[in-house]
Amino acid sequence: MKKILVSFWFVTFLFSVEHLPAQSTEGDLLVGVWEPSHGKARVKVEKIADKYFGKIVWLREPNDPNTGQPKVDRNNPDESMRQAPLKGYRLLKDFTYSGKKEWGNGTIYDPENGNTYSCVIKARDENTLDIRGYVGVKTFGRTDVWQRVTIKK
């Protein structure tokens, strides 16, 4: 009887261990390197503290044409942070996976104007994302399509 009970708990444990990471694996579809439609940058999405973050890892024009130096976050509202480099800049922040290939509760930063917008991400497929930035309600926003740089087959 004891053996049966132990086996039961072992099977239950195995099931729960197998079941729990399944959610996070599905959410990890977002991890990778993505290119926005303008093609001027590439963004690497990684997972930190159970949330998803995307940082710029490649710029088509890495240097500021006026200074010849690497581009910095010159439009940041916080003047003390304007020396932060754009390469490595984390512009997608704090996304959590909400199921059905959608990530929410995050923000997207536009270095062109220094504004931060609420954002939702939806995967059309393994290699295509709809990135919707908005202010207030989702209806009033703009969607950009990002493509995975290294296509998953």
Partner 1 sequence: MLRISLLFVILSAALLACTGGGEKLSMETGKVVLLASGPLYEGSNTATVEWIPAPEAVSGKKITSARVSKIRLMGSGEYADLFSDITFSLAAPGADMRRVGVLNPVAVGDSIWELQVADEQKNIEDFFKGKPITLVADVNLKRDLEADLNLTAEVVFETENKK
Asked whether position 149 contacts partner 1 by CB under 8 A, the answer is no
Give 65 or 77: the residue with its C-beta nearer to partner 1.
77
> Nearest 5 degrees, angle CA 151-CA 110-CA 43?
20
Position among 10, 88, 125, 147 found at the interface with partner 1 (CB under 8 A):
88
| Helix, strand or coil, per DSSP, at residue 80 | helix
**Residue 57 interacts with partner 1 (CB under 8 A)?**
yes
Q: What angle is formed at CA 81 by the lines to CA 76 and CA 84, rounded to 5 degrees? A: 95
For residue 21, state whether it binds partner 1 (rule: CB under 8 A): no
Task: Indicate whether 117 belongs to the interface with partner 1 (CB under 8 A).
Answer: no
Helix or strand run (H / E) with residue 91: strand 90-97
Residue 120 as a binder of partner 1 (CB under 8 A): the answer is no
Sign of CA dihedral 133, 25, 40, 86: positive
Binding site for partner 1 (CB under 8 A): 44, 46, 48-51, 53, 55-58, 70, 72, 77-81, 83-85, 87-90, 93-94, 107
